[in-house]
Amino acid sequence: MANTADSSQQIAHSAPVTGPVLGNDGRPLKASLAKSLRRQKLRALGLIAPLLIFVLLTFIAPIADMLFRSVENNIVGDVLPRTVVALKDWDATTGELPDNATFKAMALDLKEAVEDKSHTRLGSRLNYEQSGISSLFRQTGRKVKRLDVEETTDFVAAFEKMNKKWVDVENWQTIKAFSGRFTDGYFLAAADLTKGPEGVERVPENQQIYYTLLLRTLKMSMIITISCILLGYPIAFLLATLPLRTSNLLLILVLLPFWTSLLVRTSAWKVLLQQQGVINDTLVWLGVVADNARLELINNQTGTIIAMTHILLPFMILPLFSVMKTIPPSYVRAAKSLGANDWTAFWRVYFPQSVPGIGAGSILCFILSIGYYITPEIVGGTKGVFISNRIAYHISSSLNWGLAAALGTLLLVVVLGLYWLYDKFVGIDNVKLG
């Protein structure tokens, strides 16, 4: 009897069909499934987490830092805190000097800044915006130590005595314009724009270096990409149509340059392209050029284009080859049997199917080429360098890190935009190696 009661109780328990299905541990099956799924997800994330944290720290944080530095402008507010507050009420457009209190604030700020020499750093920062301001700060820094703040009443006159430039309204306008915590000054400079009294304006034609440089980078990358298509297409076509054994052998000729150190290939071109180098020697020997009219192949745009085409050619051939391998040869045969001649069969049937490969290879070559630094630096001279060389120059020589960061940000935006296109047409997952 007890047994029946037990079973009836069990039936009563599971009788409502609408209730949750139970697993054999008595808990709802759905909950157990969700729990195990959650555990799986956690385990996967646990495996990924160390790497993710590592990449975030060593790579993403630096990129974020660069983006931040391209707009950061704390130095004016840090070095001249009182002056920045005093300048708030000053109207920069009237053309009148700030009042005596502002000059006093400047005196107090400078006296403190001289202690840790931060006034020279501020000077060189503001010098990017207006030349001459750096020496103004350095000279005043030396003299301001002897200025007695308690005794002086007419600070304007005192400053004028230290350096005449202090009564020049332009300098004050610059300080006020760049007194904010953030600035668009670096980006304006990177786009050859400057902040004048009447708002943003173009810098004079002969000083527009960045615009010219960006145009040159894009133009030369385009030329390099096109040369890669012209040289890569026949090779990929040949590799795709030859029997597997032969094409695998020939593929080594493509992979060897791909695997050879970039520096080795660049040195090879430096050696080959010199005026007394192998190419010029051979041409002279063949009688193509006269000995006194050797070709100038290096330290100009020609050098950069030749060397970079050689370096990026495998990046064009490999994606093209992988696309062409999938085109069935029967299509071309079908076209020919329907009466097309060789050219029509190629142009109307084969070529359209290889266009995705051209797209993939071109975007890859173009992206790689606009960010190149080493090869243009070595074979490009002054006329054949890219925007990356300018970034490097601002980091290591001119020390204008903000401008370097702004140029880097612009380049990054262009590259990420191109990658977005690449992902849309080809898919990042289809990136293959070797």
Among positions 359-388, residues that touch other proteins (CB under 8 A) are: 367-368, 370-374, 377-378, 388
CB of 72 within 8 A of CB of 402? yes
Question: Looking at 16, 199, 328, 434, which residue binds other proteins (CB under 8 A)?
Answer: 434
What is the Cα–Cα distance from 394 to 406, expressed in whole angstroms?
A: 11
Longest dimension (CA), the chain: 119
Query: Quick one: how far is CA 283 from the chain centroid?
Result: 39
Phi-psi region of 134 (alpha: psi -120 to 50; beta: other; left: phi over 0): alpha
User: Considering beta carbons, is residue 355 or 431 the nearer one to other proteins?
Assistant: 431
Q: Nearest distance from residue 372's CB to other proteins, in Å?
A: 8
Residues 32-61, interacting with other proteins (CB under 8 A): 37, 40-41, 43-48, 50-52, 54-56, 58-61
Q: What are the respective helix, strand and coil percentages of the chain, to the nearest 5?
A: 70, 5, 25
Question: Looking at 149, 249, 271, 288, which residue binds other proteins (CB under 8 A)?
Answer: 271
User: Considering beta carbons, is residue 101 or 262 the nearer one to other proteins?
Assistant: 262
State both tokens at 394: 């601002």
User: Considering beta carbons, is residue 3 or 276 the nearer one to other proteins?
Assistant: 276
Listed residue (133, 130, 107, 129) closest to 120, CA to CA? 133
User: Considering beta carbons, is residue 196 or 234 the nearer one to other proteins?
Assistant: 234
Question: Looking at 149, 278, 334, 338, which residue binds other proteins (CB under 8 A)?
Answer: 278
Quick check: 286 binds other proteins (CB under 8 A)?
no
Residues 398-427, interacting with other proteins (CB under 8 A): 401, 404-405, 408, 411-412, 415-416, 419
- Bridge partners, residue 327, by sequence: none
Q: Is 194 helix (H, G, I), strand (E, B) or coil?
A: strand
Q: Is 84 helix (H, G, I), strand (E, B) or coil?
A: helix
How many other C-beta atoms can be found within 10 angstroms of the C-beta atom of residue 211? 16
Quick check: 355 binds other proteins (CB under 8 A)?
no
Question: What's the distance, Cα to Cα, between the start and end of the chain in Å?
Answer: 76
User: Considering beta carbons, is residue 130 or 409 the nearer one to other proteins?
Assistant: 409
Quick check: 66 binds other proteins (CB under 8 A)?
yes
Residues 332-351, interacting with other proteins (CB under 8 A): 342
Residues 100-119, interacting with other proteins (CB under 8 A): none
What is the Cα–Cα distance from 115 to 117, expressed in whole angstroms?
A: 6
* Number of residues engaging other proteins in binding (CB under 8 A): 91
What is the Cα–Cα distance from 129 to 131, expressed in whole angstroms?
A: 7
Quick check: 294 binds other proteins (CB under 8 A)?
no
Residue type, 245: R
Quick check: 303 binds other proteins (CB under 8 A)?
no
Residues 153-172, interacting with other proteins (CB under 8 A): none
Q: Nearest distance from residue 287's CB to other proteins, in Å?
A: 17
φ, ψ at 202 (rounded to 5°): -75, 145
User: Considering beta carbons, is residue 203 or 368 the nearer one to other proteins?
Assistant: 368
Quick check: 152 binds other proteins (CB under 8 A)?
no
Quick check: 259 binds other proteins (CB under 8 A)?
yes
Quick check: 261 binds other proteins (CB under 8 A)?
yes
Quick check: 31 binds other proteins (CB under 8 A)?
no
User: Considering beta carbons, is residue 211 or 373 the nearer one to other proteins?
Assistant: 373
DSSP state of 73: -
How many other C-beta atoms can be found within 10 angstroms of the C-beta atom of residue 311? 24
Q: Is 149 helix (H, G, I), strand (E, B) or coil?
A: coil
Question: Looking at 249, 256, 293, 334, which residue binds other proteins (CB under 8 A)?
Answer: 256
Quick check: 266 binds other proteins (CB under 8 A)?
yes
Question: Looking at 19, 20, 28, 62, which residue binds other proteins (CB under 8 A)?
Answer: 62
Listed residue (223, 231, 363) closest to 303, CA to CA? 223
State both tokens at 210: 């960045």
